[in-house]
Structure 1
Amino acid sequence: MGVVLSRVSNSCRRLFQELVNTCQTVKSIREANSTDSDQSSLALIETKVCKPEEVLIPALPEIPLVERGYITPQQVYNLLNAEAGHPALHDPYYILILDCRSAGRYKQNHLVTGRVSVTVIHPELGCLISCVQLQEFSIILLYAEEGSSPVGSVEARADSPSLQRCFFQLSDLGMDPVIMQGGFLAFHALYPFLCTPHMVLLEHERHALTIYPSEILEGALYQGLQPQASDYRIIKNLHITHVVNATADSSDAFPNALNYLRLHLSDNAQQDLVEALPLAARFISEVLMGEPAGRVLVHCSLGRSRSSAVTLAFLMEHRCWSLLHALRWMKARRACTAPNVNFLRQLLTYEEQLFGSRLTNLDDIRL
């Protein structure tokens, strides 16, 4: 990864770093994300749903194994939709996406804001953009049609020679590119609405892009802003069936089409969450465990504080994660996660109620 310009927010940089970190093995993630006390009291076990009347046994989030140098389509989705005050994708130097397929495939369909790789790294002419310009990008993402073999392996070179050549040319220039696991086919199968046949490069074109809620649990739980909850195209594309409205005064946008839980929360030091947290956690759990399972969007005004407190409560109670590990999971998927101090204190109390003791220190999670 090149030099990051100050125009890209710290939270967006943290999001990418968290996503890159999850590309390591489960063992390295456990070592990086666990304190000594964590190692003695927490075990990496299969995610389970716990009964709220029991004292819960804490578990660590189960991290998928991803080959070094790769990130998953879900991680790419969250990168494309990262925001902290404003959408990161509106910044032309936030992410450089290079489509390493043929020009014909690119013209048919490609990731939004993607470019044909030969316009940047040509197999014969070399780098067509100066190293200084390349260093301005926070993230350089490559993808082929499909494939996830280890970088540099015989299989990878056979499956996607253009991508491998581009990857090593960029690496030789001092860049740190990442590859999308499964390629375009895997991403398009999950997020066709973030693919386009049109080239999107100009500033006004970027600002016209739809920014989607963050995906907290793949194909299940999303968190975002009030305007996103009022955009029916977003609701339809994500197949949202239920909404947790954590605002104080924003009305439910589609009461005849969706099921709502209205919490009427204010983002201040006086707001009491004692009733809202278990109510919301139960609501989300029942939707995700239903037959058929639904999809939930949790939102407040900015998608930072109230909605984060609600989502964290669900992850703590129904995934058996401590507040610390739930917060780490959240921030890796939504960098702008930031419950206010009042909410954090109440979440610590909620953690103690769920697990029978406090597992997280406020100083470790102060944002």
Structure 2
Amino acid sequence: MLQLCQVTNALFISNARSACSEQLLQQEAVTLCINVSKQQPFPSGGVAKLQIPVYDDPSEDLYSHFDRCADAIQKEAGRGGRSVVYCKNGRSRSATICIAYLMKHRGLTLADAIQRVKTARHVIDPNPGFLSQLQRYEAVLKARRGRS
């Protein structure tokens, strides 16, 4: 079944098959596609595209992309657009990016952010390497907030 799972008003998570469905993208008024993979295709329609070329491997560095992705989602939402974040199965890489966004721009804790994304898409399961990168990110965000 093709579907985009809604995390917030302006953010969806899905697998590559669903994210490449022109019909679904139009139906949900998606304006930005963030493809967190090296091999998955992009939809062909006129949506903005951002590619994060990582494999679903615990040793991959997804951390260095957290701010850029979170800010892109936020910027898109700010101008009335909607984003979909996807990887091959919509389980590990895309979930990690959605969680990072919720922590940075919605102020959620890591545990709450995971729960929020899990509620939208129950199959999510960030790999152990990505989880530890999210833990590091949570600490960095806390420190940044303490300074501001």
How would you bin the TM-score normalised by the shorter chain?
over 0.9
CA deviation map 1:302-352 (0-9, x unaligned)? 000000000000000000111011111111221111100000000000000
**3-state SS in 2 of match to 1:356:** helix
Tell whether 2:77 aligns with 1:288.
yes
Q: Which residue of 2 aligns with 1:242?
A: 32
1:329 to 116, 128, 134: 116
**3-state SS in 1 of match to 2:115:** helix
Tell whether 2:35 aligns with 1:259.
no
Q: CA RMSD in A?
A: 1.4
Q: Which residue of 2 aligns with 1:50?
A: none
Q: Which residue of 1 aligns with 2:13?
A: 223
Q: Which residue of 2 aligns with 1:197?
A: none
TM-score by length of 2: 0.92
State the alpha-carbon separation in 1 of the partners of residues 19 and 117 from structure 2: 19
Preserved CA contact (<8 Å) 2:2 2:17: no
State the alpha-carbon separation in 2 of the partners of residues 329 and 267 from structure 1: 21
Tell whether 2:105 aligns with 1:318.
yes
1:56-67 alignment, distance < 5 Å: none
State the alpha-carbon separation in 1 of the partners of residues 67 and 48 from structure 2: 18
Deviation at 1:211, TM superposition (A): 2.7
The one-letter code of the counterpart of 1:257 is G
Deviation at 1:242, TM superposition (A): 0.6
1:96-245 alignment, distance < 5 Å: 210-218=1-9, 220-245=10-35
State the alpha-carbon separation in 2 of the partners of residues 326 and 288 from structure 1: 18
**3-state SS in 2 of match to 1:275:** helix
1:5-84 alignment, distance < 5 Å: none
State the alpha-carbon separation in 2 of the partners of residues 247 and 273 from structure 1: 11
State the alpha-carbon separation in 1 of the partners of residues 133 and 24 from structure 2: 32
**3-state SS in 1 of match to 2:84:** strand
Deviation at 1:268, TM superposition (A): 0.5
The size of the alignment, in residue pairs, is 144
Preserved CA contact (<8 Å) 2:16 2:41: no
TM-score by length of 1: 0.38
Deviation at 1:253, TM superposition (A): 2.1
Question: Which stretches of structure 1, 4 residues or longer, exceed 2 Å deviation after superposition?
Answer: none
State the alpha-carbon separation in 2 of the partners of residues 229 and 334 from structure 1: 14
**3-state SS in 1 of match to 2:33:** strand
Deviation at 1:212, TM superposition (A): 1.0
State the alpha-carbon separation in 2 of the partners of residues 229 and 329 from structure 1: 20
- Specify whether residues 251 and 211 from structure 1 end up closer, same or farther in structure 2 by C-alpha distance, changes over 3 A only: closer
- Specify whether residues 252 and 211 from structure 1 end up closer, same or farther in structure 2 by C-alpha distance, changes over 3 A only: closer
1:275 to 64, 89, 93: 64
Q: In percent, how many aligned pairs have the same letter? A: 26
CA deviation map 1:259-290 (0-9, x unaligned)? 01110111012101232111100110100112
